[in-house]
Structure 1
Amino acid sequence: MAKQKSFLKVAGTLDGLTFYKSVDGHLVRTKGGVSKSRIMNDPAYIRTRENIAEFGNTAQSGKLLRNAIGTMLNRAKDPRMSSRMMGVLSKVRQLDASSSRGERVVSEGISTSSGKQLLKGFDFNNRAALQAVFHAPFNLDTATGVITIADFVPLDQLQIPEGASHVSFRSAFINLDFTNGTFDTQYSPIVNRVLDMNSTTITLTPVAIPSGSGTQLHLLLIEFFQEVNGLQYPLRNGAFNVLNLIDIV
């Protein structure tokens, strides 16, 4: 593929060329390839059809996970988050040892300890990874979803972006059933703190234990704000915010 250099950016198809916009800018590629009918019916393309089927399942699982996280995801994500997640979930799907090729699913892969380990620690905003921003020990009770950050000193234990005056913490406890496509998400109240050297203990308690069964997900959201005339404003639309899948059971 090639990049459009002209000041006039075109979108659409013209003379066998397809012009489109992506996160990498305005691009152009040639139109063509094997017809859909041949791919779906020709025995020579059986491997391709298997790949399409598995890709579709992975895409559905990724969408389900994003929907389960809900509004927290809008607060901390990078432009390539969905494609990065697809890459991880594809590896999880490949751990399905009970299904034939073309029928492997994320729900089977995530049931393995290796599958959980692949997804654990996923940063939804790669511009602000948890380990790079947050330097305080914390405890997670996976039975209740309660996260405790004892003796937390903001200026000592955070990588703070320029201009920030406050930080907030919030957690999510999710029961996600990849097989049935259902989930229940319970959030903790937001805990907001001024960025200073005072020590405090932060406790994030979900309002309830999520119902249902499946895979348990525990997420931590860290947001930075700047206070102006008594009001707190997000910094650069959340570019410095952290959202991390801290554990999966």
Structure 2
Amino acid sequence: MAKLKSLIKLEGSMEDLTFYKGTDGYFVRTKGGVSKNRIMNDPAFARTRENGAEFGSITASGKLLRTALGPMLFRAKDSKLTSRLVKVMAQIKNLDSVSARGARNVADGLNSSSSISIFEGFDFNARATLGSVLNSIVSVDTANGAVRISAYNPMEQMRSPEGATHFSLQVGFLRIDFATGVYDLTQSPEEVYPLTNGTISPVLTPDSEPTATGTGMHFILIEFFQEVNGVPYMLNNGAFNVLHLLKMS
């Protein structure tokens, strides 16, 4: 695969070359390779088929999580989230110690205690990580999903974008079963604070506990706004917003 450097940006096919646009620019690659029929049936490509099946499984798991997070994810994500999430899902899949090669999956990988160290602390917006935005201690009650943030001064212990006048805090409690695809997300009311000097000690509790079974996940969402004449406006399409996986249970 080569990167195209030209004043003329091409997309499509020309003889044995395929031109396409990716997130990092325009690329060109050659056609050809082994036929799909051979890959699907030739014993020599058994490993390829197994790898393909597992890749499809982890891709589906990543999509399921993104769907489950719904509006929280829409407000804080980066352009490479899908690929970053697939990478993490692949690491968790590799922890599956019960399924045959080609059938390893995220649901069984999560049964390993090592999955927690891989997944906890994941930031859905790499441009604004929790550690780079908030300098305070955050604790989670895994029973009801309540999140406590130790007393802090937003003007001194938060990195806020230029022009921001307010920020909001919200937490989510998700239970998700990657084997069945069933999930339930409950959220706390959104708490809005002005970016002024003073100490706050937020306690955010979801309205209820999720009814689904499966892996428990606890998230925090931080959004920044600029208020003009009493109307809040999101800054730069949410580029500075945080969505962080605090804890798994």
Q: Same fold (TM over 0.5)?
A: yes
Paired letter, 1:221: L
CA contact (8 A) 1:76 1:125 kept: yes
Q: Deviations over 1:83-119 (max 9, x none)?
A: 0110011010000011111111110111211012211
Question: What residue in structure 2 maps to residue 39 of structure 1?
Answer: 39
Q: What CA distance in whole angstroms lies between the structure 2 residues aligned with 1:244 and 1:102? A: 31
CA contact (8 A) 1:189 1:207 kept: yes
Question: What residue in structure 1 maps to residue 246 of structure 2?
Answer: 246
Question: What residue in structure 1 maps to residue 117 of structure 2?
Answer: 117
Q: Deviations over 1:168-202 (max 9, x none)?
A: 11111001001111100001110110011111221
Q: How does 1:5-16 map to 2 (within 5 A)?
A: 5-16=5-16
Local SS of the residue matching 2:73: helix
Q: How does 1:188-227 map to 2 (within 5 A)?
A: 188-227=188-227
Q: What CA distance in whole angstroms lies between the structure 1 residues aligned with 2:84 and 2:40? A: 27
CA contact (8 A) 1:152 1:202 kept: no
Paired letter, 2:139: N
How far is the alpha carbon of 1:58 from its aligned partner?
0.5
Question: What residue in structure 1 maps to residue 88 of structure 2?
Answer: 88
Question: What residue in structure 2 maps to residue 234 of structure 1?
Answer: 234
State the TM-score, normalizing by the size of structure 2. Answer: 0.97
CA contact (8 A) 1:39 1:45 kept: yes
- Farther off after superposition, 87-96 or 18-27: 18-27
Local SS of the residue matching 2:163: coil
Q: What CA distance in whole angstroms lies between the structure 2 residues aligned with 1:234 and 1:101? A: 46
Q: What CA distance in whole angstroms lies between the structure 1 residues aligned with 2:91 and 2:149? A: 32
- Matched length: 249
Local SS of the residue matching 2:151: strand
How far is the alpha carbon of 1:12 from its aligned partner?
1.4
Q: What CA distance in whole angstroms lies between the structure 1 residues aligned with 2:33 and 2:114? A: 37
Question: What residue in structure 1 maps to residue 51 of structure 2?
Answer: 51
Local SS of the residue matching 1:99: coil
Q: What CA distance in whole angstroms lies between the structure 2 residues aligned with 1:55 and 1:19? A: 25
Local SS of the residue matching 1:56: helix
Q: What CA distance in whole angstroms lies between the structure 2 residues aligned with 1:248 and 1:142? A: 8
- Farther off after superposition, 150-159 or 56-65: 150-159
CA RMSD of aligned residues (A): 1.1
Q: What CA distance in whole angstroms lies between the structure 1 residues aligned with 2:58 and 2:196? A: 44
Q: What CA distance in whole angstroms lies between the structure 2 residues aligned with 1:8 and 1:172? A: 46
Matching of residue 145 in structure 1 with residue 145 in structure 2:
yes
Paired letter, 2:37: S
State the TM-score, normalizing by the size of structure 1. Answer: 0.97
Q: What CA distance in whole angstroms lies between the structure 2 residues aligned with 1:7 and 1:77? A: 31
How far is the alpha carbon of 1:147 from its aligned partner?
0.8
Paired letter, 2:10: V
Identity %: 49
Q: What CA distance in whole angstroms lies between the structure 2 residues aligned with 1:233 and 1:153? A: 23
Paired letter, 2:112: T
Q: What CA distance in whole angstroms lies between the structure 1 residues aligned with 2:237 and 2:114? A: 35
Q: What CA distance in whole angstroms lies between the structure 2 residues aligned with 1:124 and 1:139? A: 19
Paired letter, 1:165: T
- After TM superposition, where is structure 1 displaced by more than 6 Å over at least 4 residues in a row? none
Q: What CA distance in whole angstroms lies between the structure 2 residues aligned with 1:150 and 1:76? A: 23
Matching of residue 162 in structure 1 with residue 162 in structure 2:
yes
Question: What residue in structure 2 maps to residue 106 of structure 1?
Answer: 106
Q: What CA distance in whole angstroms lies between the structure 1 residues aligned with 2:138 and 2:90? A: 30
CA contact (8 A) 1:135 1:157 kept: yes
How far is the alpha carbon of 1:233 from its aligned partner?
1.0
Structure 1 unmatched ranges of 5 or more: none
CA contact (8 A) 1:217 1:248 kept: yes
Q: What CA distance in whole angstroms lies between the structure 1 residues aligned with 2:135 and 2:129? A: 11
Question: What residue in structure 2 maps to residue 77 of structure 1?
Answer: 77
Paired letter, 1:32: G
How far is the alpha carbon of 1:6 from its aligned partner?
3.0
